[in-house]
Amino acid sequence: MGARRSDPGPRGLGFALENRSVLSRVLPEALAAAQPRPITTVLRAHRTALERLAPPLDRPPAIALLTPGPQDEAYFEHAYLARLQGYTLVEGGDLTVRGRRVWLKTLEGLRGLDVLLRQVDDQLCDPLELQPGSPAGVPGLVEAARAGHVALANALGTGLVEGPAFLAFLPGLCRHVLGEELRLPSVATWWCGQARERRHVLDHLADLTLRPAFVPVHGTGNEPGGTAVHAGQIESVEATPHAWVGQERVTLSQLPLRTPAGWASRPVVLRVFVLFDGREYRVLPGGLAWVVDVSRLGTVRLTMAACTKDVWVLTDALVSEPPPTVASPRVVPPPARSDLPSRTADALFWLGRYAERLEQLVRLLRSLVHQLTGDPSGAGRGRVAALAGFLRQLGVLPDAPGAAGSADSLGREALQVLYQRERPAGVRDLLDRMHRTAFAARDRLSADTWRLLNGLETDARLGAGSLPLVRAGVVLNRLVLDLAALSGMENENMTRGHGWRFFSLGRRTERGLAVARQLETLLRVGTPFELLLDPLLEIADSTLTYRQQYAIEPALAGVLQLLLHEPGNPRSLAFQLAAIATHSHALPAAANPAGPRQVQEKAAALSGQLLPLRPAGPAEGQGADAADPRLPDQLAAMGRALAEFSDLLTRLFFSHVGPRAD
């Protein structure tokens, strides 16, 4: 059977809210005509219920949602609820227990938590007292809860009541406690821990479903036992009768579903939600309908990846919801300290790096595609060959020593970098890295940001078509615009907090690395670098700026000046280092008082390394447009220094996060 697991709480509320939100945008007329009861008011009751669980305080309680992390299939729901409610989304590694209190490890130091909305299986919550070695747990959490210093919503062990064994006693419990019969009949269940019931199950095993008694099971109960497995089932029941129940098979209701093959009928399971806010029970006027995958009937859990449908409760007239009853304080409290976990800051930093890395790759590929589909003359072929060699030295195209490659082979290589998911550091690979990293900080990203990220994935899937290079040019242009929109979202919409600062630091660090490496490669390339100046300005989106400033054909000295030292050019190395220095002076100091000072010193050293870089200064006997021969090595040293700066940030601010492969 494997490890027994208990549900950390009722799943599906976030999906129900999201389904209603999506339908309100996709089918607004249908909702207006049907007037289903609104369900968003449950959010206010949900937060009130959590606040009432907190220990007595003279301030609003600090609430966090404890999730297993992005690997959990319900992570979307955890992040969605946290964002809607303003809870801090935390993983086990974000928390520590000291003095029997639970603390959140933030960039500004430790912040106490009063309530944890638990979405981690109970036996995984504390590796000291429950399952040893659980990476999702918090050592000492059970002791902190036992001491009353933190309240656990979905208290440890509450999943037990979802075990099928309790269904056997539900009719009798209702009569005993409420003095009435169940209004909805329960699925007929026999607990094998009772002799007569066990005999009934064994006698009718072919007509019943055998299930673990104390493990939450959200299957359907319509799977036959099957005569071929009777011997093993009988042996299990007789060896541990208390661990098993027999249940009748039920017939599920069916709903229409649109499939790739057309309309079909599929079984559905309805989940409704009841919330106790500490004073009264509130029933959600709606619910969630899970469309059941027939192949998963009888599994331990309904998968979050299943298709779901919104459930409406209709009324004769639109029900007006009462206004919020929460009293506003006369004095607005000061803003709370940042609750940004170090892990999330790390994810945002790398999201910025991956976004910039992808943009640089897309711009390099677009330049190659433009050359391949442009001038077919000898001059055009020379630029293609020079650009291909440049991209090979950068590692964008595979190294092919001694073979420049035909235009057709270069086109195939470019398409592989663009479309092949298995290609390391290709477009699809970087998109996957972006999505995985963004998922780790999902509650910190707005809905519009997620639309942009999803748009990137959609635009990158456009097929090659009958004109593959032309279509590739269209795809690359779209990706450039999508990434520009993401950059605009960062500049115009992200609150200037620590999350934005680390996201921006990631972008500036990666762009600085790209500029330094591209200029170094330009100066080391074997072919005449004059053929690369126009493409390099295009890649750096600086062609117009160059023409406005110099009004001449691209020359090495002007290109180096513009991309190295021009402070007003957002693509120059000087611009990136200035932004890094500005951000370094605003980093939090509480968690590591010496950290910001070390980062500031490193940023100042980076700026110091830039000053001696001489765009031009030919040695005796060289042409007027030759660069200082020391410049390539100096640019290589700048690249190493930027990589060291990234490592320093990781060591000082993200130290509890595991190592990452860049």
Per-residue model confidence as pLDDT tens digits over 267-276: 888 888 888 8
Report helix, strand or coil for 616.
coil
| Strands ordered across the beta sheet of 286-291 | 254-259, 262-271, 286-291, 308-312
pLDDT at residue 175 tops 90: yes
Q: 429: how many CB neighbours lie within 10 A of its CB?
A: 18
CB of 112 closer than 8 Å to CB of 88: no
pLDDT value at residue 3: 38
pLDDT at residue 7 tops 70: no
Please enumerate, as own/partner, the contacts of 139-145 that have beta carbons within 8 Å and a separation of 24 or more: 139/97, 140/97, 140/100, 141/95, 141/97, 141/102, 141/116, 143/97, 143/100, 144/97, 144/100, 144/101, 144/102
Angle of helix 498-524 relative to helix 530-539, nearest 10 degrees, comes to 170
The distance in angstroms from the start CA to the end CA of the chain is 39
pLDDT value at residue 602: 92
pLDDT value at residue 217: 52
Confidence of residue 216 (pLDDT cuts 50, 70, 90): low
Q: Which residue has the higher pLDDT, 503 or 528?
A: 503
Whole-structure pTM value: 0.80
**Of 143-152, 245-254, 582-591, 608-617, minimum mean pLDDT range:** 608-617
Burial category of 115 from C-beta neighbours within 10 Å (exposed 0-12, middle 13-18, buried 19 and up): buried
Greatest alpha-carbon pair distance for the chain in Å reads 105
| Percent of the chain clearing pLDDT 70 (strictly above) | 84
**Of 16-30, 282-296, 422-436, 510-524, minimum mean pLDDT range:** 282-296
**Of 333-347, 348-362, 489-503, 568-582, minimum mean pLDDT range:** 333-347
Give the mean pLDDT of 61-66: 92
CA proximity to 95, closest of 123, 125, 60, 61: 125
pLDDT value at residue 104: 92
45 vs 575: CA distance, rounded Å = 49
Confidence of residue 618 (pLDDT cuts 50, 70, 90): very low
Count of residues for the chain? 662
143 vs 548: CA distance, rounded Å = 68
pLDDT value at residue 326: 44
The residue type found at 414 is A
CB of 81 closer than 8 Å to CB of 9: no
320 vs 46: CA distance, rounded Å = 19
CB of 534 closer than 8 Å to CB of 554: yes
Confidence of residue 589 (pLDDT cuts 50, 70, 90): confident
Q: Which residues contact 335 (CB under 8 A, 6 or more apart)?
A: none
Backbone region of residue 262 per phi and psi (left: phi > 0; alpha: psi in -120 to 50; beta: other values): left
pLDDT value at residue 591: 63
Confidence of residue 513 (pLDDT cuts 50, 70, 90): very high
Confidence of residue 260 (pLDDT cuts 50, 70, 90): confident
Q: Which residues contact 312 (CB under 8 A, 6 or more apart)?
A: 34, 36, 37, 286
CB of 169 closer than 8 Å to CB of 193: no
**Of 127-141, 162-176, 228-242, 433-447, minimum mean pLDDT range:** 228-242
Q: Which residues contact 503 (CB under 8 A, 6 or more apart)?
A: 348, 349, 351, 352, 490, 494
Q: Which residues contact 29 (CB under 8 A, 6 or more apart)?
A: none
Q: Which fold has domain 40-159?
A: Rossmann fold (3.40.50)
Q: What is the pLDDT of residues 107-139, one digit of tens each?
A: 888 889 999 999 998 888 999 998 888 888 899
Angle of helix 195-203 relative to helix 230-239, nearest 10 degrees, comes to 170
pLDDT value at residue 583: 94
pLDDT at residue 579 tops 90: yes
300 vs 305: CA distance, rounded Å = 14
- In the chain, CATH 3.40.50.11290 sits at 40-159
CB of 347 closer than 8 Å to CB of 441: yes
**Of 282-291, 314-323, 412-421, minimum mean pLDDT range:** 314-323
Q: What angle do CA 467, 367, 537 make, to 5 degrees?
A: 155
pLDDT at residue 324 tops 80: no
380 vs 386: CA distance, rounded Å = 10
- In the chain, CATH 3.30.1490.270 sits at 164-248
Q: Which of 32-41, 213-222, 268-277, 349-358 has the highest mean pLDDT?
A: 349-358
**Of 145-154, 402-411, 481-490, 526-535, minimum mean pLDDT range:** 402-411
The residue type found at 542 is S
pLDDT at residue 316 tops 70: no
pLDDT at residue 627 tops 60: yes
Please enumerate, as own/partner, the contacts of 430-435 that have beta carbons within 8 Å and a separation of 24 or more: 430/354, 430/357, 430/358, 430/361, 431/358, 431/456, 431/457, 431/460, 433/350, 433/354, 434/351, 434/354, 434/355, 434/358
In the structure encoding, which two tokens stand for residue 66, read together? 């404890």
Give the mean pLDDT of 571-587: 94
pLDDT at residue 575 tops 60: yes
Confidence of residue 336 (pLDDT cuts 50, 70, 90): low
Give the mean pLDDT of 292-302: 57
pLDDT at residue 342 tops 60: yes
How many contiguous H segments (helices) and E segments (strands) does the chain have? Answer: 21, 16
pLDDT value at residue 223: 44
277 vs 289: CA distance, rounded Å = 24
Strands 244-248 and 208-212: antiparallel
Q: What is the pLDDT of residues 78-108, one digit of tens each?
A: 988 888 888 999 999 899 999 999 999 888 8
Q: Which residue has the higher pLDDT, 378 or 97?
A: 97
For the chain, give the mean pLDDT. Answer: 83
| Strands ordered across the beta sheet of 115-118 | 88-90, 63-66, 115-118, 151-153
- Cα 635 versus chain centre, distance: 35
In the structure encoding, which two tokens stand for residue 649, read together? 């940030």
**Of 175-189, 303-317, 328-342, minimum mean pLDDT range:** 328-342
pLDDT value at residue 349: 95
Report helix, strand or coil for 184.
coil
Q: Does domain 164-248 have CATH number 3.40.50.1440?
A: no
Residue 603 phi/psi, 5-degree rounding, is: -65, -40
166 vs 161: CA distance, rounded Å = 7
Q: Write out the E strands in 113-261.
A: 115-118, 151-153, 189-191, 208-212, 244-248, 254-259
60 vs 82: CA distance, rounded Å = 17
Confidence of residue 448 (pLDDT cuts 50, 70, 90): confident
pLDDT value at residue 334: 52
DSSP assignment of 546-573: HHHHH-SS--HHHHHHHHHT-TT-TTSH
CB of 339 closer than 8 Å to CB of 88: yes
In the structure encoding, which two tokens stand for residue 145, read together? 């809860």
